[in-house]
């Protein structure tokens, strides 16, 4: 097996670091947008509050639930939880 040129490993590492940095910037931008929509906007804040209430008040499983129903319900809850976590990360960064 032929050895890789000496600088190819460095280029591979640099590209990986660049991709990680780009991904981090994208996540931060998305979190800031979510914060603007759901905290800094009155209508968005009301909507998030309604979603939080539905998360707390609706059971994931009932006697008539199928596995599919349970998966859908849990997915909805996970979506709301992830929104809240993203918003909280912006608030923590701003402290």
Residues with pLDDT less than 70, the chain: 1-6
* Number of domains within the chain: 1
Range of the domain at 59: 7-93
How many residues make up the chain in this entry? 95
H/E stretch holding 74: helix 67-93
Handedness of CA 12, 18, 21, 27 (dihedral sign): negative
Distance in angstroms (rounded) separating the CA atoms of residues 5 and 68: 52
Residue 1 lies in a domain: no
Angle CA 74–79–84, to nearest 5: 125
**Mean pLDDT score of the chain, rounded to an integer?**
89
**What pLDDT does 2 receive?**
65
Say what the pTM is: 0.72
Residue 42 lies in a domain: yes
Residue 2 lies in a domain: no
């Amino acid at each position: 097996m032929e050895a890789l040129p000496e600088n190819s490993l460095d280029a591979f590492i640099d590209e990986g670091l660049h991709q990680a940095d780009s991904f981090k910037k994208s996540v931060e931008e998305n979190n800031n947008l979510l914060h603007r929509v759901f905290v800094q906007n009155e209508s968005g804040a009301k909507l998030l509050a309604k979603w939080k209430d539905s998360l707390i008040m609706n059971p994931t499983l009932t006697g008539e639930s199928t596995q599919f129903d349970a998966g859908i319900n849990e997915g909805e809850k996970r979506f709301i939880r992830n929104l809240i976590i993203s918003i909280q990360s912006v608030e923590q960064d701003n402290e």
